[in-house]
Structure 1
């Protein structure tokens, strides 16, 4: 007995036009979008190559700057030499170096060296210029910012600009500069003494003696403090007294 065919219904299942599995789908997609894929891969390779090239160039540039900086360092006068003429050649070399290697870490170091060299050459305005440049270029938290601030306070002090120097020392003090607290209070005391504000001077000397440290030595602090107390007494000034303790 032969099988009857249902009217209107095919006995052949239709062939699917969709790929069967995900591998087939991916293969078809790749064939369809092969041009786009090739372009995307090429762009990615170009980007990666460019980044690698920039990094290699930056490292090479910094390496060259470090080598040139080492050469300049050999020209520095011996330690302790403060002859202005001896520092003029150093200033010229450092200025050229900073111009040629701008943007590298050694160039940032050289800017601080320029400030120091200018200070020794008694070119104080130039010293301030380079100190400000370091503060502008060095990122927050960078150690060079502390050194630049310290140099700036000394520069103002040497120029006889007591108010500006006091502001810079107080700024350093507010940063909690470890190892500098005794010196900062000592320098503030000397500056206030120079302004005949003996009560404030005595206050800072007393603070300096309470801080652990070796510079300046306690004998010097005690001697200068004794002299200041005499001057404060002669002027009718006295440091702020502590509030009386409650005996109840």
Structure 2
């Protein structure tokens, strides 16, 4: 099959994006050889793409270590994106109040591919905080926000995720498909999910669904903290998290049918 110039251009764009997505909090810097090996590309291809990305400020190279890291252009784009996310603006005062009440860090998260990605964060003033940040991706089956989002997907999408494999991270990670299905059913019924040391030891969290104007669960609100201090099974904690998620849902246009009925009377 003959490849056109356009095919090669699209391939280069895709590989450049793959390079950018390969950087993470755990691996913020990488050498050309590391990128070539992990992405299955030649070193010459990676070097050429990195040179192009560096010329536009998407990556920068440390002259001493010869390692690349993300550049300031990424930060500028992130600022533009987050400043225009309605959910972040509407949720900010509600999250601040929730953090003041519970004294733990709160997040907004959404589904992206088969991961949960955190799009907003309000930090607690507590001296010890669990590791998390905006832009971080985590699995769905072992995080409270991930389980909330997964629970409200179509059955075929849930099965596709399960068939992809339930990786075990701690002794508490749900790796049995039957147990996970039962947990997701309970989450839909009770309106919240709890995770106790399922992704990382020493970390507990609780999440509740946020619905958009169509009634679809589009986001999750989660509160996270260390297990020695944060107790998400506390009925008071559960009630406050669910109420905050409901308030955010209403802020972005969701009105329960009962509320709509009361307004029309």
TM-score normalized with structure 2 length: 0.25
User: Bigger radius of gyration, 1 or 2?
Assistant: 1
- Structure with more of its chain in strand, by fraction: 2
Indicate the structure with greater helix content.
1
TM superposition score normalised by structure 1 = 0.26
Higher relative contact order by CA 8 Å / sep ≥ 6: 1 or 2? Answer: 2
